[in-house]
Chain A
């Protein structure tokens, strides 16, 4: 009896210790880092550096969507918030599909998406954009979709569209497959099994890769490009970051994500054999060459682009994405409109675009960028 009571006491003491410890820890973890001005508006600060105009910006702007542009947006937000005190921009990186859904439910000021709005999504957006407005696509960031690989002992890898397609649809199963060997003379490839990783959620990056494979290797890749991963086999991971961390961790892995994820985690990337004289490396410059051939297909203030994925131009890296910021052309929510305009004006400015190249992204071609700036000015 006595013994039991002692044990119970001891146990409850231990329990109390654990609980209080947990409380202390959570208290440390939930530091509130929000900074707002005394009245929630911007203070007239010193003139902002590099094209950032804070006039009209106030309070908190929520945005969400594409994880491909996360690293770019993070950088922009950092610079922007440093210049405009009292304004908070909060970009939740998830997936293009999620961003558009959030936008059409009216929970965010703008959304990031790697593929332009579909007609039915534009239809949905009319409920959110008041006064006859609708959702439009503003191309803001370009970037190469890098094929990151992790094969012990292999530092350089060349692949062409058909081989990439066959790797991702489970037809090529080993790294020393004849098709891969033929493209990489002189490289000793191990017989490690290939583990192809794709995105588990609706991803614009997936759709752009699908468009490329369908354009460049129609015989090997018969699937319609969609945000959802279409092919059998392989494994799924969530978000660009999820795919990148799996590739980093697993020997024999290959995956796809915006180049910035490869740079930040030092993952080796595949050079793509496009039919040009030499295989093309995934770099922002090479992606710009491919993006510069883009045509605007949107009408009015909608600037959706069409990319040429089957390009054979020298040094043009064909697997690219353009990330759009999705906003209402008119009828944006009055409380966020000022911040949206001011923030997007910065991201489309020379300073905003130049910041991209240092981080594995490609700026939007000048003539398209000019149109984007005009549209941003006209937002209401």
Chain B
């Protein structure tokens, strides 16, 4: 009955229930601070969402066009007519192109660093890939406009000649490569570091046991990767890709510098033209009057929702994979 601890002179402090403070001042302050930080974040997010929604509702109530289907952006005119069809299309298409290029390459680099590269090479290489993330996006834009665009003419002609039958790669307009395809390539380079570094961390966390077991069964290195590394890392790679996609969707300056903006939807991704949400906001903000800015904010709200959807989808995919073991850095 009497507890054996009563014989001890210094009793250990009672173990606090999770989330409750023990009543000591330091504890109270610390738990208050951490709770405050959490609440602050929610307040900031809520106020941003409220601001966007309020300003967007002003714009939408006066829009003479259909916000979802109008192929035009004349928000500062009277009457204002604007729609996001072109922007949504351009944003999604350029991001898909970027993902299609960047994810396979990033997974390749990550595997090379984590499983193939000699130790001496792996660390510097990883570091160099991370450095890509340190380049400001406007620099990517300038490099894209002055170097990449002229260099891509040859590739575009080649794609047009041999893949023109796919409709997508059919180049109907002459012109330098200031197209969604070029933007996609540029975005691919920009999201490479984030996808690579997260994937690399995941691949490094594959339990040694699994790999050694596979090796013990006589598997080659490629089979080890196929049977133990990739299945283990799959959800990590998915969440890495989603992080990259989030960045690609919202990229502004690089796109605005490279793309030749126009309000057309074209399935020919090599033709110049199109636009993205962020590029349109950057290009139009300067010359937009009060109402025009509200309209741009409305398009920003759509981008906000699009990003939320993408993240939600990513979480669903990851949640469905039960073998996921907290490897999403």
User: Which chain A residues in 70-129 approach chain B with CB under 8 Å?
Assistant: 94-95, 97-98, 101, 104-105, 120, 124
Q: Are B286 and A14 in contact (CB under 8 A)?
A: no
Chain A hits for B272, CB < 8 A: 235
Chain A hits for B134, CB < 8 A: 18
Candidates B123, B131, B174; contact of A18 at CB < 8 Å: B131
* Closest A residue by C-beta to B256: A238
Q: Are A11 and B175 in contact (CB under 8 A)?
A: no
Q: How far, in angstroms, from A228 to B263 measured CA to CA in the complex?
A: 11
Q: Are B78 and A120 in contact (CB under 8 A)?
A: yes
Instruction: Tell whether A98 pairs with B286 under 8 Å between CB atoms, given A195-B176, A236-B261.
Output: yes
**Per-position 1/0 for B116-144, Cβ under 8 A of A:** 00010001100100010010000000000
Candidates A4, A173, A232; contact of B174 at CB < 8 Å: A173
Q: Are B289 and A235 in contact (CB under 8 A)?
A: no
Instruction: Tell whether A4 pairs with B286 under 8 Å between CB atoms, given A18-B134, A195-B175, A237-B260.
Output: no
* Closest B residue by C-beta to A192: B174
Q: Are A249 and B289 in contact (CB under 8 A)?
A: no
Nearest-CB distance from A120 to chain B (Å)? 6
Q: How far, in angstroms, from A43 to B175 measured CA to CA in the complex?
A: 55
- Does A201 interact with chain B (Cβ within 8 Å)? yes
- Does A217 interact with chain B (Cβ within 8 Å)? no
Chain B hits for A15, CB < 8 A: 127
Instruction: Tell whether A235 pairs with B123 under 8 Å between CB atoms, given A200-B260, A201-B283, A201-B287.
Output: no
The B interface, classified by DSSP as helix, strand, loop or mixed, is: loop
Chain A hits for B76, CB < 8 A: 97, 101, 202
- Does A184 interact with chain B (Cβ within 8 Å)? no
Nearest-CB distance from A3 to chain B (Å)? 6
Chain A hits for B18, CB < 8 A: none
Chain A hits for B78, CB < 8 A: 120
Q: How far, in angstroms, from A201 to B275 measured CA to CA in the complex?
A: 13
Nearest-CB distance from B193 to chain A (Å)? 14
Chain A hits for B175, CB < 8 A: 193, 195, 235
- Does B205 interact with chain A (Cβ within 8 Å)? no
Nearest-CB distance from A236 to chain B (Å)? 5
- Does B173 interact with chain A (Cβ within 8 Å)? yes
Interface size on B, residues (CB 8 A): 29
**Per-position 1/0 for B69-106, Cβ under 8 A of A:** 00000101010000000000000000000000000000
Nearest-CB distance from A336 to chain B (Å)? 21
Q: How far, in angstroms, from A98 to B150 measured CA to CA in the complex?
A: 30
Chain B hits for A194, CB < 8 A: 174
- Does B307 interact with chain A (Cβ within 8 Å)? no
Nearest-CB distance from A164 to chain B (Å)? 18
* Closest B residue by C-beta to A119: B78
Q: How far, in angstroms, from A246 to B178 measured CA to CA in the complex?
A: 11
* Closest B residue by C-beta to A104: B289
Q: Are B261 and A200 in contact (CB under 8 A)?
A: yes
Q: Are A3 and B119 in contact (CB under 8 A)?
A: yes
Candidates A14, A104, A202, A235; contact of B176 at CB < 8 Å: A235
Candidates A104, A193, A235, A249; contact of B150 at CB < 8 Å: A249
Chain A hits for B292, CB < 8 A: 101
* Closest A residue by C-beta to B72: A228
Q: How far, in angstroms, from A144 to B289 measured CA to CA in the complex?
A: 29
Q: How far, in angstroms, from A104 to B287 measured CA to CA in the complex?
A: 11
Q: Chain B: residues with CB nearer than 8 A to chain A?
A: 74, 76, 78, 119, 123-124, 127, 131, 134, 150, 173-176, 178, 260-262, 264, 272-273, 283-284, 286-290, 292
11 pairs across A/B with beta carbons < 8 Å? A11-B123, A15-B127, A18-B134, A101-B287, A104-B289, A124-B289, A173-B174, A201-B287, A235-B176, A236-B260, A252-B174
